[in-house]
């Protein structure tokens, strides 16, 4: 009981900070890549270290009229409070199997980059990327995929608790991020469509 009383008191004194939203009308210098999101897939193979993987294929086109740098960041968050960055624990052999599986629809499929990737404007320079995660907790029922680096729009807010040595709130930098929500069954063998898609600041 004492724990819950303390928790309530702590929560009551922590200021609530409303998260900023992406701009409805971006400024002249802001850009966002055009994204066509695909379904979430699973793949099993006895030849692979984890035997089971989840992956998402996205197609990205630059319609800004100028070269832009994709600075990649992608996380998968589960309703069991796990967060997995894309590509961690994923070998090249996993990508090879996925590429072979989708070679007719995505003949130029690329792995999600680990560093900045310059994308030139126009449909001729569109990219198809695959984001891969090893098998997640078998109790997972919902996941959210957060894909960052698709826009240069940012927001700066004060951290609600952290302070520097002068007592000034530490700045937190948020990026415009694509959020895809899925309801899944960990043993599913069928592609899964997102139930919600939105741009958020994260």
Cα distances (Å, whole numbers) of residue 158 to 17, 62, 101, 190: 9, 32, 46, 43
Residue 65 makes CB contacts below 8 A (sequence gap 6+) with 121
pLDDT at residue 14 tops 70: no
Residue 17 makes CB contacts below 8 A (sequence gap 6+) with 157, 158, 160
pLDDT at residue 199 tops 90: yes
Neighbours of 135 (CB within 10 A): 17
Provide mean pLDDT across the span 165-192. 86
Q: Indicate the SS3 state at residue 97.
A: helix
Top-confidence range, 5-9, 42-46, 61-65: 61-65
202: exposed, middle or buried (Cβ count in 10 Å: 0-12, 13-18, 19+): middle
58 close to 131: Cβ distance less than 8 angstroms: yes
Q: What is the mean pLDDT of the chain?
A: 84
Convert the pLDDT of each residue in 115-162 to its tens digit: 899 999 999 999 999 999 988 777 888 999 999 999 999 888 888 888
Convert the pLDDT of each residue in 61-105 to its tens digit: 999 999 999 999 999 999 999 999 999 988 898 999 999 999 999
How far apart are the C-alpha atoms of 104 and 79, rounded to whole Å? Answer: 34
Residue with tokens 């608790």: 161
**Which pLDDT band holds residue 28 (cuts at 50, 70, 90)?**
low
- Domains of the chain plus CATH, in order, are 31-201 (2.60.40)
State if pTM tops 0.85.
Answer: no
How far apart are the C-alpha atoms of 152 and 172, rounded to whole Å? Answer: 16
How far apart are the C-alpha atoms of 156 and 162, rounded to whole Å? Answer: 14
Task: State percent of the chain over pLDDT 90.
Answer: 52
The pLDDT value recorded for residue 23 is 61
């Amino acid at each position: 009981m004492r724990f819950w009383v303390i928790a309530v008191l702590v929560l009551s004194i922590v200021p609530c900070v409303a998260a900023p939203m992406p701009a409805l009308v971006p400024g002249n210098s802001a850009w966002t890549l055009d994204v066509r999101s695909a379904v979430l897939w699973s793949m099993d193979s006895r030849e692979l270290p984890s035997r089971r993987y989840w992956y998402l294929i996205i197609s990205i086109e630059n319609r800004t009229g100028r070269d832009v740098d994709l600075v990649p960041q992608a996380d998968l968050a589960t309703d069991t409070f796990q967060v997995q960055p894309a590509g961690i624990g994923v070998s090249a052999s996993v990508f090879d199997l996925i590429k072979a599986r989708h070679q007719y629809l995505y003949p130029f499929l690329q792995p999600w980059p680990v560093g900045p990737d310059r994308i030139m404007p126009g449909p001729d320079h569109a990219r198809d990327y695959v984001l891969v995660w090893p098998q997640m907790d078998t109790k997972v029922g919902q996941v959210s995929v957060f894909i960052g680096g698709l826009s240069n729009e940012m927001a700066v807010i004060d951290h609600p608790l952290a302070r520097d040595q002068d007592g000034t709130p530490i700045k937190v930098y948020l990026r415009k991020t694509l959020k895809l929500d899925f309801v899944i069954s960990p043993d599913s063998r069928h592609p899964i469509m997102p139930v919600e898609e939105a741009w958020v600041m994260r």
